[in-house]
Structure 1
Amino acid sequence: MPSRNHLDKIGRKKKKKWTEEAMERALVEVKSGRCTVRQAAKEFAVPKSSLGDRVSGRVTPGSRSGPAQLITSADEEMLVEFSLHMSKHGFPLTKQQLVSFASSIYKRQHRRVAFSKLGQTWWLNFRKRQENNISIQPADGVVRGRTPCVRKEAVDQFFHLLRAVMDPQGLRGKPHRIFNCNETGFQLGRKRLIGPKSASLGYKPTQGLRDHISVLACFSAAGEDMPPFIIYSKAYPGGVCYKTQGPPGALYGWSDSGCVNSDLFKKWFLKHFLAHAPRERPLLLIFDGHKSPVSLEVVEAARKEDVTLLCLPPHCSHILQPLDAGLFALLRQRFAALAGDGSASDTHFAVSKKEFSGVFKATYEVAKEEHGVRTVKEGFCKCGIYPLNHFAIEEGHIMPVHSMGPEAGPSLSTLTVGDNSVTETST
């Protein structure tokens, strides 16, 4: 992996000492027959070999020197504009995310070429090409992890973004166009029982299950729901009963962890959310995008469909996420009662992977009942999202600026393009 200093040295050695205007004038003189290639190169102070390449047609006049760009200048400008759009809506891109998006663009342009992810060399060259627009700023020292109190600046910035989206689009009085999607998890496993040793029983006890299943739910501020997205760990259950017994219209997927990831979120948004969303536009979708970064395809589709994606600030979802504020606790309570566990505070539920969708179908019915709809609306109200109310957040959850602790973990730097930010871990 080349270092930044190494690339800078190479750039200094190969820096052009001639201009394109001089090369064009020399080319005109040669083609008119007034000078030979050698005479024109000497007169206009341009390399003879480069001029000869243009005269013979091996190099197109006006083409850039050096290695070919992996993505075109137009696509690179689009990438910068895309990161600007993301930053304005609460999704400041990390270096890894930006390189990943650039790799997606490259893959779409070179479908027949063996795909190789763009690496450190491309990133350093990208930064060099954008040095007139990009400045490096230190990130603020924020203690990582969810805390009882969150930064006041983060909450203020979120409500500023929310107001900047809702007011121009006229969403203040249209709760059916404001959506929140969020994920909740269920750990399946039989409870441990205290009993005599297995030798005296004559058989070995059944091993507890370790299956994790997540449910991605989406509700509007009016209390209206979309069918849930059920995500299994490692693989689907055997057979098709999990689909026939599950909630009507539900979407199913799986991942190694049993949690939503970027690919699953893309599947949900493109094939599920847009299919069930109201036809009225614009729409607003609020979610925690830091857990499952959105893909380039999702952002492109959202802009085409007039859906604004608004990301919750990191470590603030427990006070700004409407579904966290009430409905999920109600769902877990109902699920525990149906599973026979008796308590929603249990971390494991005595339900098998095949049985889950059927039990959750009965659980999810509470969301359509009057009590469930009211709970969803109260969640939006408690978080100050609808009706829009910055002061709905309790002051006890807000951390004053002067009480912020020291920075934890590696230091971060922020690359800023106007209002755009890209975070990069310092080495």
Structure 2
Amino acid sequence: MTPLKKETKRIHRYCNEDLQQALIDIRKKGRGVRETCRKYGIPRTTVQDRLSGKMCDDMKQKGPDPILGIEGEKRVEDWLLNITRRGFPIKKQDLLETVQKIMKVHKIKNPFKNDCPGKSWYLKFLKRHPHIALCRVEGINKAKAPVTEQSIRTWFDELETFLAESNNQSILECPERIFNGDECGFSLCPKSGDVLLPRRFRNPRKVKPGNEKNILTIFITVNANSQVCPPLVVLPHVRPPRAVVDSLPEHWCLGKSDSGVTRSDVFFEYITNDFINWVDRNCIQKPILLLLDSHRSHMSLHLSTICEQNGIILYATPPNTSHTLQPVNVSIFEPMKSSWPSVVGNFLSKPENVNSRLNKTKFCQMFRDILEDSSMDATIKNGFRQCGLFPFNQDAVDYTKCDKKTTYVYVSNYLQNSLKNESNDPLCTSEDITNGDIVSTRKVINCLRAKLNEKRIDVDVILEELRELETQINIQNNNSEMESDRLVDYSSTIKMDIELYDWHQDIEIKQCKTE
């Protein structure tokens, strides 16, 4: 019995470039269909389907279409590239969760477990989209991630370039269109602090009015015109108590999460249902700029889509710069956190709050009084000015908050490279620098110290580098003197040997004559 032959599937013997060139020859050069098909080895029906418009000009990809479709994957690719450029880094898990959410919302049939694609889909997605590359990021401790002046200035330049490319640089001139949002957690039972007691009194105690672990998260958004959007309060409850809901001030927002912090779905609901409506009610010109940190709750595809549709430009600040570039943190959260026990004490000392404690119901009332204070307008405007966001000026940032050690290492490496004579300029060598030059430079810098400090230039770092340079020059001079001394000793030794040799020669000659 003869074995059955396995059917082999025909594979295209031509590529997409051959097909496109064949269509160009027929349409523009007027060549015949049969002749062109024989030349490029393409079936005549394939070309005729393209000419009649029955199929698109591009070749159909082998195998089935992607789960999201061609347009769906293109949308995911555009979102990933766009949001990465705005300072929001996307990880593999973020991409897979985004695709999972798309398939659940649109009820797309798929072979994945729990509608979540796996490693195979992920690798094929990268292969289908060569513009996306996988880069390994070096993980470092937050304490070892310094913020330098150069990185902040680079961020300012990149933000200005990004807005200019989309013709939105006019946003930087309108204070009501520049927004900043940030969140912070506050304890409902702050530490009582130190107390004054008799000298011999030991172990003072005080009953805590509550649990120190009870922390509420509040998200505040303001613009450079000192307008405060209705805050978002996040509660660690699946179903918040009715008393807490009733105590919320008008237009304030309430979020729910198991951990009590802002998640992507909570932030999406806040932007969609509250922030956008507030912007429309106040008739603020769009597009607007919303500056956030690069937390993963701010980088979902649905959030980017709804913001793009409503004229909201999301842009991330660099890591570890909340104390430098976020006005909400600089003007509201930092002063409040440093004096939080006294803030709570002042609130509870009011007549209507006597013999009570700070709970979730009174928390929103206290924050409402703080945000509605008459001095808050000037405080917010001053915060945007200190962060250099309005007026847009990167020189207004307090760079003394940056890591001085990093600045010192940067200057030190720069001077050491100059001393190594790596430049082609002969004036960049240490041999041309004398101690007198260093003394003169030190005098000039000390005379200009006040003006340099106004421009936030660390004069002490420069003087320290001058001292190191002076030490290196002294070492070089000492080495050259020792080398010259060795040369002198060596030459004198040679001269002495020559004289001794001549003296011995004279003695030998005299002895020969006497003999």
Give yes or no for TM over 0.5. Answer: yes
**Corresponding position: 1:84 with 2:74:** no
1:248 CA displacement: 2.1
Residue 367 of structure 1 corresponds to 371
**Corresponding position: 1:290 with 2:295:** yes
Residue 400 of structure 2 corresponds to 396
Within 5 A, what are the aligned runs for 1:181-220? 181-189=181-189, 208=211, 210-220=213-223
1:264 CA displacement: 0.6
**Corresponding position: 1:120 with 2:122:** no
**Corresponding position: 1:224 with 2:227:** yes
Counterpart Cα distance in 2 of 1:306 and 1:127: 30
Counterpart Cα distance in 2 of 1:84 and 1:307: 17
1:17 CA displacement: 6.6
**Corresponding position: 1:302 with 2:345:** no
**Corresponding position: 1:386 with 2:390:** yes
Counterpart contact for 1:247–1:357, Cα < 8 Å: no
Within 5 A, what are the aligned runs for 1:127-166? 127-131=126-130, 133-137=131-135, 139=137, 141=138, 143-145=140-142, 149-165=146-162
Change (3 A) 1:275 1:326: same
User: TM-score if structure 2 supplies the norm length?
Assistant: 0.58
Counterpart Cα distance in 2 of 1:158 and 1:176: 22
More strand by share: 1
CA-based RMSD of the aligned residues comes to: 3.9
Within 5 A, what are the aligned runs for 1:24-423? 64-66=61-63, 68-111=65-108, 115-131=114-130, 133-137=131-135, 139=137, 141=138, 143-145=140-142, 149-165=146-162, 168-169=167-168, 170-189=170-189, 208=211, 210-238=213-241, 240-277=242-279, 278-279=282-283, 280-332=285-337, 336-337=341-342, 339-340=344-345, 355-399=359-403, 400=406, 403=409
5+ residue gaps in structure 1? 1-13, 25-43, 47-60, 197-203, 344-349, 405-427
Change (3 A) 1:320 1:205: closer
Counterpart Cα distance in 2 of 1:327 and 1:250: 18
Residue 420 of structure 1 corresponds to none
Change (3 A) 1:272 1:291: same
Instruction: Report the more deviating stretch, 93-102 or 261-270.
Output: 93-102
Identity rate of aligned residues, in percent?
Answer: 22
Question: What amino acid sits opposite 1:364 in the alignment?
Answer: R
1:242 CA displacement: 1.5
1:392 CA displacement: 1.9
Change (3 A) 1:161 1:205: closer
Secondary structure in structure 2 of the residue aligned to 1:265: helix
Instruction: Report the more deviating stretch, 104-113 or 155-164.
Output: 104-113
Counterpart Cα distance in 1 of 2:116 and 2:396: 45
User: TM-score if structure 1 supplies the norm length?
Assistant: 0.68
Secondary structure in structure 2 of the residue aligned to 1:326: helix
Change (3 A) 1:161 1:351: farther
Give CA deviations for 1:182-218 in whole Å, capped at 9, x if unaligned: 101112347699689xxxxxxx999836322100111
More helix by share: 2
Counterpart contact for 1:188–1:351, Cα < 8 Å: no
Give CA deviations for 1:326-371 in whole Å, capped at 9, x if unaligned: 212444578644633899xxxxxx9878x32434323332323331
Residue 414 of structure 1 corresponds to none
5+ residue gaps in structure 2? 1-8, 20-40, 44-57, 194-202, 349-354, 411-515
Give CA deviations for 1:285-321 in whole Å, capped at 9, x if unaligned: 1111325232211111111111111111122222111
Counterpart contact for 2:185–2:217, Cα < 8 Å: yes
Counterpart Cα distance in 2 of 1:351 and 1:237: 21
Secondary structure in structure 1 of the residue aligned to 2:328: coil
Counterpart Cα distance in 2 of 1:351 and 1:153: 50
Counterpart contact for 1:212–1:257, Cα < 8 Å: no
Counterpart Cα distance in 2 of 1:205 and 1:386: 43
Change (3 A) 1:172 1:182: same
* Structure possessing the higher radius of gyration over alpha carbons: 2
Secondary structure in structure 1 of the residue aligned to 2:375: helix
Counterpart Cα distance in 2 of 1:119 and 1:19: 32
Counterpart contact for 1:236–1:253, Cα < 8 Å: no
Counterpart Cα distance in 2 of 1:323 and 1:207: 28
Counterpart Cα distance in 1 of 2:364 and 2:382: 23
Secondary structure in structure 1 of the residue aligned to 2:323: helix
Secondary structure in structure 1 of the residue aligned to 2:183: strand
Secondary structure in structure 1 of the residue aligned to 2:72: helix
Counterpart Cα distance in 2 of 1:93 and 1:363: 34
Change (3 A) 1:112 1:231: same
Counterpart contact for 1:155–1:313, Cα < 8 Å: yes
Change (3 A) 1:96 1:271: same
Secondary structure in structure 1 of the residue aligned to 2:215: strand
RCO greater where, 1 or 2, for CA within 8 Å and sep 6 or more?
1
Change (3 A) 1:45 1:152: same
